Structure 1
């Protein structure tokens, strides 16, 4: 409210008071109230401007988060040992890399079904899960490797009283871009391959980039 507007209102109030038989004190009271009203309007205007600025900042933050989520790499895969018939794989007299050739999911194409290698597309934290199945009568041992380092394993001792042995495990790994993760079958152990139930599997996904 401008000063000229306040002045016009005061003069109008003064004339109304005189016309209606009011006193100059009434005019002074109205002028004081108008000044207080002007101050209140100014305060409200200032708060509104502050609120609008905060909303603008929040909108910008939301847009940044949307953009970050949209651009965040999406990585997830699941694969199993490929076989056209039910048979055992092993025992082998040397620790051997397992190639999970039956790909169920490969978002981001970070897993290679020809080499059995998962290659981290970005630096981040990943979660991996693996499982194995073997008939009784021979040991079954599996390990997950990060590069040349053994990270986690499962082992089932052969048992004559059971027809099947099953084991699974999982691990969270921090990987740099380009680092590889893969599975190995232990020396002199075996796993059971089938073309239907996919007992032996290898899966992983990106938890968050770093």
Structure 2
């Protein structure tokens, strides 16, 4: 009789045992899924916080310039369509042909380029000499201070004897410099210098553009 009752009770205990195992497994799965979701959300939250932190601009190298300047597209290219000079005194080179003036920083009226943003700039200039009485000399100046120049004399040397010549001579130079906002750049025409150019040749020209700004935002 006792064995029959035990067998009967054991039969009733099977469904309860299976239900308990099923519930336990469901709880484990839910814990794993919810735990993984919490980890994913934690990582996303951490990434979001990291992206919101602004860069420390004050510690960046900026050639000693603490002013943050916006990035801008800056480029110009000008030329002469005819000779200029000679003049008795040094003067700012004047231009009468413009190829481009992106950013509007070059003033055709004054022949001066004014840096709209602080950054590293590239400049290139060239000129031709075609005179038997005058040299050709053009010097790049930044805020009135000479930086570099090009020069061609009007003498032809042969056998140690130098004689005036009409033979054309060309010269060109370029440089990379750092400018601060408001810095002025122009070409200085030396006294009695005579840069030659024509409407089809444009032998004397001046070009400059921004390589990269101090801060690009």
Q: TM-score, normalised by structure 1?
A: 0.68
1:186 is the counterpart of 2:190: yes
Superposition map of 1:1-210 within 5 A? 18-19=14-15, 24=17, 27-28=20-21, 31=24, 33-50=25-42, 52-53=44-45, 54=47, 72-83=71-82, 88-135=83-130, 137=132, 138-160=134-156, 163-210=167-214
**Structure 1 contact 77–204 (Cα < 8 Å) conserved:** yes
Runs of 5+ unmatched residues, structure 1: 1-16, 62-70
**Structure 2 contact 128–152 (Cα < 8 Å) conserved:** no
Cα 1:42–1:203 shift into 2, 3 Å: same
Cα 1:40–1:168 shift into 2, 3 Å: farther
Alpha-carbon distance in structure 1 between the residues aligned to 2:34 and 2:155: 85
Q: How many residues align?
A: 177
Alpha-carbon distance in structure 1 between the residues aligned to 2:38 and 2:148: 61
Match of 1:5 in 2: none
**Residue 125 of structure 1: CA displacement?**
2.6
Alpha-carbon distance in structure 2 between the residues aligned to 1:159 and 1:39: 94
Runs of 5+ unmatched residues, structure 2: 1-12, 55-69, 158-165
Note the aligned Cα RMSD (angstroms): 3.3
Alpha-carbon distance in structure 2 between the residues aligned to 1:117 and 1:174: 17
- Is the partner of 2:14 in helix, strand or coil? helix
Structure 1 stretches of at least 4 aligned residues deviating more than 6 Å after TM superposition: none
